[in-house]
Chains A and B, each alone.
Chain A
Amino acid sequence: MATIQRIRKTIYVYKYFVIIFILIGGLMLYPLIDGFYLSLYQKNLMYPAKEKFLLFGNFKKLFFDDPMFWLVFKNSLIFTVASVGFEYLLGLSSALLLNSKHVPMKNFFRGIVLLPWIVPIAVNSLNWKWMLLPEYGYINIVLKVLGFGNLARGWLTDLKTVFPTVILVNVWRSFPFFTVVILAALTLIPKDLFEAAQIDGANRWQTFRHITFPGIKGISFVIITLHIVWTFSNFDVIYLLTGGGPLHYTEVLPTYLYQQGFHFFKIGYACSIGVFIFLFLVVTIGFYFTKISSIQEAK
């Protein structure tokens, strides 16, 4: 009797979760497991008959027989570290700027700044492509007018500039998130702390170091973590700006995965790249978490 009642109660409670469980189970967990499973197989959509169990064969090929992989992995690391670093700096400085008591219409400016982040990447990347064109792009025209005509170039086709340019566009798109979230944390710092610091004769840097920064440290950690994950696994920005080219100069792991899976139909191999992205992120974030918490404990 008791078990039946318990089952009844469980059904009673968890009927509210039916749709959420079906969606997460069917479209997140099942595909995730399937991805791990497929990564152990040689599977090509073009030749279904040639399916073969390889165990870790795909990973062996990835790490030891695919020179492209290490190049792409390196690009992914640079892309992530540079993007998140500059996004944080730009987000922090613009948040400090907007938090100043001299800024009028704060809500208006805060709304404007968020625009690049909420507009579709397809739109943003097209706008930047247009502005970065070699001949009629506005950036080169401005450079010529200002007398820097020798700097003008096809920013997205020149091998020297393509990677920094892609990072710049990505930073432009993502820094507003940092601005808005840091700004929210800044407004939560009690005002009397700053007054007390002023009375004690603290200079700007000391005030920032001992009052402002501790107030935004926790949230900084959260948004940096989120953005490491999002940037490392971001497909849209690079696919839409350069498609990974020219000559794989901007190829990152997500675009490489897409290419293997949907241009060459090497499903198993592409899944092993996905598994690599997943494990790499889990290990990195785990390391980051323990490192940060051990620093905090030491204090």
Chain B
Amino acid sequence: MKKDRFVKIWIWVGLIFLLIFVLFPFYWMFVTSIKPNSEILSSQPTLWPQKVTLNHYKMAWVYGKIGKYFKNSIIIASMTVVLSLLAVVPAAYASIIYRSQVMNIISSFILFLQMFPGILLLIPLYILMKNYQLIDTYTALVISYSTFTIPFCYLLTKSYFEGIPRELFEAARIDGCSDNGIFVKIALPLILPGIMVIGLFSFVLAWCDFMFANTFSNSEATRTLTVGISTLQGVWTVEWGPLMAAASIATIPILIIFSLANKYIIEGLTAGAVKG
């Protein structure tokens, strides 16, 4: 018993250390964003502000144009969700319904693309977007993100469809339901929770990207939040309050999504890695 207690103490030490290591940067970001300037640039900074202020948020949202970038990011990420679902869900369904050698090859090829690094395509894609006059449009980002969400989402959707008993499809077919009918009436409703998870994944991926957004949009009109944060650093070199407010604003949607679907996101993540 004594040994058990000893182990417990060490585990708690480990846990506390891990929590501080993981959380402190976020805590510090938030605390800095609500401190008055005098408490930010100080050689003895306070761990919790003596005077709480929301001025930095106002400054970032209005003068830093974070509000505008926030809107851009929301639009781009939502459109990415729609396009990736449209691309992935029917294909995953077909791969379950019409099993064949070719289908297996297509599936493993799509899986293999998960390893495909975006940096390889940065320049050819930039030239492509330029030729089709898509630089500085939402479209350029939405179609690029959708392409990069495909491998992971396809894999997950396929595993959701695989979870549906085959007999259900057979029964519907005997009752005279067409393949399209089965898709809309039976398969889709059954995997609806899964579809939400895939949607959230695509949203997070689009929300977090920096590289493509930084390359494909040159103007404020289409600038996303992540790029906005990085360009603001050049303008406000010492204004850490508003910068941290901007960073907090970019974090909030991720936190909301994550607290809603934490369990499913982790399940999807591990399933993806185990199968991939």
Cβ contact within 8 Å between A271 and B123: yes
Q: Given the complex, which residues of B lie within 8 Å of A73, measured CB to CB?
A: none
Interface centre among B25, B90, B146 (most CB of A within 10 A): B25
User: Which residue of B32, B119, B274 contacts A184 across the interface (Cβ within 8 Å)?
Assistant: B274
Q: Within 8 Å of chain B (Cβ to Cβ): is A250?
A: no
Q: Given the complex, which residues of B lie within 8 Å of A24, measured CB to CB?
A: 110, 113, 147, 150
Stretch in B164-172, B188-196, B224-232 with 4+ CB within 8 Å of A: B224-232
Cβ contact within 8 Å between A32 and B124: yes
Given the contacts A102-B8, A118-B204, A130-B28, A35 and B118 also touching, CB distance less than 8 Å:
no
Given the contacts A120-B254, A222-B274, A258 and B122 also touching, CB distance less than 8 Å:
yes
CB under 8 Å from chain A, chain B span 257-276: 258, 262-263, 265-266, 269-270, 273-274, 276
User: Which residue of A27, A141, A176, A219 contacts B22 across the interface (Cβ within 8 Å)?
Assistant: A176
Number of interface residues of A (CB under 8 A): 83
B262 CB to closest chain A CB (Å) equals: 4
A220 CB to closest chain B CB (Å) equals: 10
**Interface 1/0 per residue, A91-135 and B, CB below 8 Å:** 000100100101100010111111110111111101111110001
Q: Within 8 Å of chain B (Cβ to Cβ): is A246?
A: no
Q: Given the complex, which residues of A lie within 8 Å of B14, measured CB to CB?
A: 97
Cβ contact within 8 Å between B230 and A122: yes
Q: Within 8 Å of chain B (Cβ to Cβ): is A236?
A: yes
Given the contacts A30-B128, A180-B269, A257 and B276 also touching, CB distance less than 8 Å:
no
Cβ contact within 8 Å between A35 and B120: yes
Q: Within 8 Å of chain A (Cβ to Cβ): is B163?
A: no
Cβ contact within 8 Å between A181 and B270: yes
**Interface, chain B (partner A; CB < 8 A):** 7-8, 11, 14-15, 18-19, 21-23, 25-26, 28-29, 32, 40-45, 83, 86-88, 90-91, 93-94, 98, 106, 110, 113-128, 143-144, 146-147, 150, 154, 204, 207-208, 210-211, 215, 225-227, 229-230, 233, 240, 243-244, 247, 250-251, 254, 258, 262-263, 265-266, 269-270, 273-274, 276
